Structure 1
């Protein structure tokens, strides 16, 4: 009898977890049906959201209201749905260059408006009332910058409230008195899960509300939901979750909103290999946030031990786009062994709708405690200075990349032209320079452009052009190459 009772209790405990797992798996498998197709690039503008907001305003399932304006006069909108007693407030892009969750919000809205998974959706919407503020800093988004038009960080304006965007956020928090809040951000792609080579694709934080980092019921609830979300992400990006520092920041909205009585969950979208536009991370936001809303609605999160929050690895910042290990570098007649850490910095084009890369050496020396999205062991390889091709060339947009490889094998990385394209970059694996270009003496040091060659047994086998590594024994076309630069 006791054994049967124990078995029954165990089955009752497992059933909600199984049902929740099925829901999550269906969300992940069916994501493309709900992905908002008009938002397919990270650099989202305020005007792109207006047709979507208008469509939800005319949809009787949703309530849409203007809740403020930015400094430059762009509208801030709140989109609400649901009839439950538990209020959940989600806001994104208080930093203009952090749009991943903005895209995910519109994916979630499409899901909530669709016919799929009706029982789970009914459970969410009958018990919760959801409030979405998709873009808090539209002026920053316009120029893809962190700060607003006043030049301040809105997330450090919770006390002084000088920005109209910050005042709108405070009014909403006070009027909604939300039980849960989701503060949605992007973080640098160079964060990793501590002591691993895994990028911190998603990082979480249950914000502290005082310097002592005390844990009351409000903060504990946020921690429990975060543990639940971490378990979801582990299915699809194992080992790629970090825990953001919980040092108390008295000026920050997240910390103050937790102090004001809302269980605050901060989500940071970081990096994921070969996902420049963060579309896989957007999908993970969609799945994990909807799963979190489901567990808040059914209350299962309450059974999660709060101690499990501390088991999530801390965020660290020890990733490079490209790490070259154990390369031989000759300086003043002596050979040295160096590791090189290279970042491919994103430089916005005019209009802030796209970007190109500038490859920069950011560190060198013993980098054995660092990691790379791409790592090359250069043991036995010499670093070779790049050369300027001795003859002037004509711009040929139909350049054969395989012909470029022949010149790369001879150590030529720079080519003089009579006329240079107006763009600051070129998609071919060669840097273009003007007739008057005077190449400085080659020296490896942090801050310089990462362009050089690797030679083994007297033969150049690899090229690093603007921070992109090319294996010259393989076809160039199809390798991971972004762009070279134009020097005038």
Structure 2
């Protein structure tokens, strides 16, 4: 181990868990996170223009070296930011999928940390041992539309061999020119992943990608596994039980798998779901702490003392979460009653700007869902599902809808308001009730909107998949639908 006492105080005895010194260090980092959070980004949907503006602000710090290393298909600049003088090169790239922006936010928080005056001794020691290289927002064209693929319609993370996209060529060129020792492949995953065997979301999932079909473990991949064990130990302080392990089946076209094969110890970080955090602000904070823990451990080489066997003890990702789970609902069909669980999810539908989106609910599954979990669950034994009714009066326009008493509408089980002149280009409404054309007919099947009654009293409404207790403020409905 290097004679590196400043950092050693924080990274001792990894195999026995975090030491008191380490724990104290990360608690300080975590507590001071608001000082480093880049406040100009507070939503997942942001543009390349904002990224460029933030990078320009770093030009005043001569320790940051900023170089243009490529352009996207539509001509947006790809910048590499480097800091440090150490012999160990660490490459971090984010948002190769344009709609996976959590880590990009965290990288700018890390830039603010590196640019701040506090923790000066620790940072100086860190940057003497490592050189950090950042490629934020690798797919800016996709980010502009908040879509996974680039302007060519290609998944950049399946272009590591053919290298047809300029974004792919840039990442390969940077990796090869640095011959980076460590790489961090930063992504987002479905919010419906849970840590296997638990009801907890896989808020962060890790993977040391395989470099062959046999899933062999050499020194390069082994070092990535050890770092993941260390990061998991840190995150258990802040998101206990909410860390998963991503599937490690070899994908020969993927960058993570190939960069591992090319000799860079590669760590995949996937940001999933967290309760009441749709914009992933808590999850970016976890990225911030985990990534910094890893780079400090790389600098001090203390990851080498980690027991690699602990990697397999991290629970695998499972996919058994819903947004809403209603259990033991009584449902009548053709004169017979059945007991059903319902799992309801919300898909995000983009609006007319990258920052705007709406929710559209769908019944993801029904039946015995006792082995599944949800962000919001409600036991409804004894409650009967009844279809939402159509309001008996046709209103002239949307403005007239705003004059209705929405609590009263819910009490009377009205889920649909017929409107004569619906807006042609709009499919969603901020009102907590669906707006429909005058000839609308309610589906005979279970849909996104219905009511739940017990002993003849309507007690709950589900409007566009959002559960509301009758008599309470219907603001829980984030948006409803316009159905034509």
Match of 1:249 among 242, 251, 254: 251
User: Following TM superposition, by how much is the alpha carbon of 1:395 offset from its aligned partner in structure 2, in angstroms?
Assistant: 3.5
Candidates 476, 479, 482, aligned match of 1:483? 479
- The structure-2 alpha-carbon separation of the partners of 1:304 and 1:15, relative to structure 1 and needing over 3 Å to count, comes to closer
**Residue 249 (structure 1) shift:** 0.7
How far does the alpha carbon of each residue in 1:37-78 deviate from its partner, in whole angstroms, 9 at most, with x for none?
A: 111110121111111111223421110000001111111000
What's the counterpart of residue 459 of structure 2?
Answer: 461
Deviation of 1:476 after TM superposition, in Å, equals 2.9
Counterpart of 1:235 in structure 2 is 237
Which residue number in structure 2 is paired with residue 304 of structure 1? 306
1:57 pairs, out of 56, 59, 63, with 59
Give yes or no for contact 2:18–2:234 (8 Å, CA) kept in 1: no
Q: Distance in 2 between matches of 1:415 and 1:440?
A: 11
Give the C-alpha shift of residue 396 in structure 1. 4.2
Aligned-pair CA distance for 1:339: 0.8
Shift of 1:417: 2.0
- 1:410, CA displacement in angstroms? 1.1
Residues 385 and 451 of structure 2 are in contact (CA less than 8 Å); yes or no, is this contact kept in structure 1?
A: yes
The match for 1:452 among 450, 475, 480 is 450
1:245 to partner: Cα distance: 0.6
**Partner-residue secondary structure (3-state), 1:363:** strand
Listed one character per residue, the Cα deviations across residues 289-334 of structure 1 (whole Å, up to 9, x for unaligned) are 1111111111221111000000000000110000111101111111
Contact 2:464 2:477 in 1 (8 A): no
> Partner of 1:238: helix, strand, or coil?
coil
CA–CA distance in structure 2, aligned partners of residues 159 and 397 of structure 1? 58
Alignment-derived partner of residue 441 in structure 1 = 443
TM-fit CA distance, 1:486:
1.1
2:262 and 2:59 map into 1 onto residues whose CA distance is 30
* Alignment partner, residue 181 of structure 1: 183
State the distance in 2 between where 1:255 and 1:364 align.
37
Long gaps (5+) in structure 1: 1-10
Distance 2:59 2:160 in 1: 29
Equivalent residue of 1:136, what SS? coil
Counterpart position of 2:435: 432
Q: More deviation in 320-329 or 389-398?
A: 389-398
Say if 2:23 is the partner of 1:21: yes
Tell me what 1:294 maps to: 296
5+ residue gaps, structure 2, are: 1-10
Counterpart of 1:7 in structure 2 is: none
Q: Which moved more, 1:107-116 or 1:51-60?
A: 51-60
Q: Measure how far apart 1:123 and its partner are.
A: 2.1
1:362 aligns with 2:368: no
CA distance in 1, matches of 2:292, 2:400: 46
TM-score, normalised via structure 1 length: 0.93
Q: Distance in 2 between matches of 1:356 and 1:181?
A: 35
1:203 is paired with a residue of what secondary structure?
A: strand
> Counterparts of 1:339-418 in structure 2 under 5 Å?
339-393=341-395, 395-396=398-399, 399=402, 403-418=405-420
Displacement of 1:139 in angstroms is: 0.6
Report the CA distance between 1:15 and its aligned residue. 12
Query: Does the CA-based 8 Å contact 1:380-1:456 persist in structure 2?
Result: yes
Residues 462 and 227 from structure 1, CA distance in 2 versus in 1: closer, same or farther, beyond 3 angstroms?
Answer: same
In the TM superposition, residue 473 of structure 1 has moved relative to its aligned partner by: 4.0
CA contact (8 A) 2:17 2:233 kept: no
Q: Given that residues 340 and 367 in structure 2 are in contact (C-alpha distance below 8 angstroms), is that contact kept between their aligned partners in structure 1?
A: yes
CA drift at 1:463? 0.3
Question: What is the DSSP-based 3-state SS (H/G/I as helix, E as strand, rest coil) of the residue aligned with 2:393?
Answer: coil
Structure 2 CA distance for aligned equivalents of residues 408 and 442 of structure 1: 20
CA distance in 2, matches of 1:225, 1:400: 58
Contact 2:99 2:142 in 1 (8 A): yes
Q: Secondary structure at the match of 1:190?
A: coil
Distance 2:17 2:410 in 1: 61
